């Protein structure tokens, strides 16, 4: 028995047509190729980001170049010591040391004697002279103290006995120094008596200082010390002239 011919149809859910299979294969292949490419891009971007971060970190942590000029070491110079504007006082000998060690207590006693004039007399000439002595010899004491310190020598104690200071000064005669008894007489004197005793003792004191200064000029080595010695001679000789005139007026 013959059956009528019916067109062949693929059962539902059956094998796909070749064209459909090719389309699906191309989409699957694309997905398989795209996955590793995307992963590679992610890795590359991550590496680039890390490199950028490290570069930024390096640029922020690297110290900026210093703008401070480098320190250089060169020869050092020592400022000269001594009187203002003078030369180097480091050159000295034993005479210079003895001169300073003897003149410091000598000057100190002259200052102590002069300070009494403020209370023990009303004579304007004597008081003016006393102030002149204090103004000249006070700074000279400080100057000689600086010398001795710079020379590494002992600085005398003005309150020590004359014998102790003479021994410290290497036996240099501290001519004109007032004895303790004469100093007490001067301390107790008043008015005209004070004027006379002060002037007589101070003249002797100045003459002793001039003698000491001459020893420095004759044997010293320090230009500064010798310059001070000459200044002492000039200043104190002029003051002796004033005191002799005051004594003549008082006599």
Give residue-wise pLDDT tens across range 178-210: 999 999 999 999 999 999 999 999 999 999 999
The reported pLDDT for the residue numbered 10 is 43
Q: What angle do CA 17, 20, 22 make, to 5 degrees?
A: 110
Does the pLDDT at position 147 exceed 90? Answer: yes
Position 172 confidence tier, pLDDT thresholds 50, 70, 90: low
Contact 225, 147 (CB under 8 A): yes
- Is residue 104 within 8 A of residue 110, CB to CB? The reply is no
Tell me if residue 168 falls in helix, strand or coil.
helix
User: pLDDT-derived band of residue 41, with 50, 70 and 90 as boundaries?
Assistant: very low
Confidence band (pLDDT; 50, 70, 90) for 67? very low
For 127-144, how does the pLDDT look when each residue is reduced to its tens digit (9 = 90+)?
Answer: 999 999 999 999 999 999
Question: Is the predicted pLDDT of residue 68 greater than 50, yes or no?
Answer: no
Would you state the pLDDT for residue 173? Answer: 66
Give dist(CA 251, CA 248) in Å, integer. Answer: 5
Under 8 Å CB-to-CB from 249, ≥6 apart: which residues?
A: 125
Does position 154 have pLDDT exceeding 80, yes or no? yes
**Token digits of residue 195:** 């004027």
Angle at 87 between CA 81 and CA 90, to 5 degrees: 55
- Per-residue pLDDT tens digits for 229-247: 999 999 999 999 999 999 9
pLDDT exceeds cutoff 60 at 157: yes
Q: Which helix H or strand E contains 132, and what residues bound it? A: helix 124-151
For residue 4, what pLDDT is reported? 45
| pLDDT tier, 250 (very low <50, low <70, confident <90, very high otherwise) | very low
| CA distance readout (Å), 141 to 10, 107, 108, 131 | 134, 7, 7, 15
Count Cβ neighbours within 10 Å for each residue of 191-216 and write b for 16 or more, e otherwise: eeebbbbbbebbbbbbebbbebbebb
Q: For the whole model, what pTM was predicted?
A: 0.63
What's the angle, vertex CA 157, arms to CA 151 and CA 160, rounded to 5?
A: 140
Structure tokens at 130: 């006393």
Given the structure tokens 């290497």, which residue do they identify?
Answer: 170
């Amino acid at each position: 028995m013959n059956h009528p011919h019916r067109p062949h149809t693929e059962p539902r859910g059956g094998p796909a047509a070749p064209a459909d299979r090719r389309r699906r294969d191309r989409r699957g292949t694309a997905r398989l190729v795209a996955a590793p490419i995307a992963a590679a891009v992610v890795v590359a971007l991550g590496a680039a980001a890390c490199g950028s971060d490290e570069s930024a970190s390096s640029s922020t942590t690297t110290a900026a170049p210093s703008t401070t000029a480098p320190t250089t070491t060169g020869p050092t110079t020592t400022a000269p010591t001594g009187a203002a504007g003078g030369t180097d006082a480091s050159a000295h000998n034993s005479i210079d040391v003895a001169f300073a060690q003897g003149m410091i207590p000598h000057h100190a006693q002259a200052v102590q004697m002069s300070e009494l004039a403020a209370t023990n007399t009303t004579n304007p000439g004597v008081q003016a002279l006393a102030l002149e002595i204090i103004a000249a010899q006070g700074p000279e004491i400080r100057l000689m103290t600086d010398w001795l310190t710079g020379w590494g020598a002992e600085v005398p104690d003005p309150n020590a006995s004359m014998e102790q200071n003479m021994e410290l000064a290497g036996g240099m005669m501290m001519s004109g120094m007032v004895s303790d008894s004469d100093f007490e007489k001067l301390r107790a004197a008043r008015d005209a008596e004070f004027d006379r005793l002060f002037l007589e003792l101070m003249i002797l004191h100045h003459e002793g200082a001039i003698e000491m200064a001459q020893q420095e000029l004759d044997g010293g080595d320090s230009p500064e010390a010798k310059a001070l010695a000459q200044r002492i001679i000039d200043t104190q000789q002029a003051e002796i002239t004033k005191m002799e005139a005051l004594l003549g007026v008082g006599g």
